[in-house]
Amino acid sequence: MDLKTLIRDIPDFPKPGILFRDITTLLADSAGLRYTIDTMTEQCSHLEPDYVAGIESRGFMFGMPLAHNLGVGFVPIRKPGKLPAAVHSAEYELEYGTDRLEVHQDAFKPNSRVLIIDDLIATGGTAAATAKLVEQTACELAGFGFVVELTALEGRRKLPNAPIISLIQY
Ligand code: AMP
């Protein structure tokens, strides 16, 4: 299946010069959704994670069904101030300023293998910050999985040494 036909390109969103790869059209297509989750499951199962960590918010949409299929737990990586118990935080650079991601300190059992999932990797800053969070929990990185990779931005160079899977490259 050619998933690119199900992803909608929106020029100049959220600001001029950005070509936004809109996955809502893929999510709404029953065959495309099934194919995406099945393919991610096939490509990620050999990584043998104990948990899938999904990055708010589009990482939740793909990470949760993937965790279900792999028979492992799901852990949400959230924007600041959303998680109720004690958290680890990691900051990352935006074009202007910084942002932060958080995870519950007790989210993973010690020494577990964690697979990080997001819809898309662009510059890699978001996924790299999530990897720093996993390091703080003393767990091991099983790898990274993305539906879309924007290869020209070389985001994978920002990530620590672990397997990286992407279903579609632009
Ligand atoms: P980055 O930290 O630069 O790798 O950006 C990744 C995050 O920003 C992901 O959560 C994406 O959903 C979102 N993102 C960045 N660039 C795009 C784009 N061109 N189209 C859609 N989403 C994007």
- The pLDDT tens digits of the residues spanning 2-60 come to 999 999 999 999 999 999 999 999 999 999 999 999 999 999 999 999 999 999 999 99
56 noted as active-site residue:
no
Closest approach atom of ligand 1 to CA 20:
20
DSSP H helical segments within 71-166, as ranges?
125-136
20 lines ligand 1 (CB under 6 A): yes
58 noted as active-site residue:
yes
Q: How much is the pLDDT for 83?
A: 98
Residue 85: which of 60, 101, 107, 108 has the closest Cα? 107
Q: How much is the pLDDT for 107?
A: 98
Q: What is the DSSP string of 14-34?
A: SSTT-EEEE-HHHHT-HHHHH
Residue showing tokens 């990797």? 121
Question: Any idea which fold 48-169 has?
Answer: Rossmann fold (3.40.50)
The model's pTM: 0.98
Break the chain into its structural domains and give their ranges: 48-169
Average pLDDT, the chain: 97
With 0-12 / 13-18 / 19 or more C-beta atoms within 10 angstroms meaning exposed / middle / buried, residue 20 is middle
Q: What is the pLDDT of residues 90-125, one digit of tens each?
A: 999 887 789 999 999 999 999 999 999 999 999 999
Catalytic choice (56, 78, 95, 154): 95
Catalytic choice (58, 78, 113, 149): 58
Q: Which two tokens stand for residue 62?
A: 């793909």
What is the Å distance from ligand 1's center to 61 Cα?
A: 15
Q: How much is the pLDDT for 96?
A: 79
Residue 122: which of 155, 169, 156 has the closest Cα? 155
Residue nearest to atom 18 of ligand 1 (CA): 20
129 lines ligand 1 (CB under 6 A): no
Q: Give me the percent of the chain exceeding a pLDDT of 90.
A: 96
75 lines ligand 1 (CB under 6 A): no
149 lines ligand 1 (CB under 6 A): no
Closest approach atom of ligand 1 to CA 124:
4
Q: How much is the pLDDT for 94?
A: 85
Measured CA to CA, the distance from residue 71 to residue 34 in angstroms comes to: 17
| Vertex 84: Cα angle to 81 and 90 (nearest 5) | 45
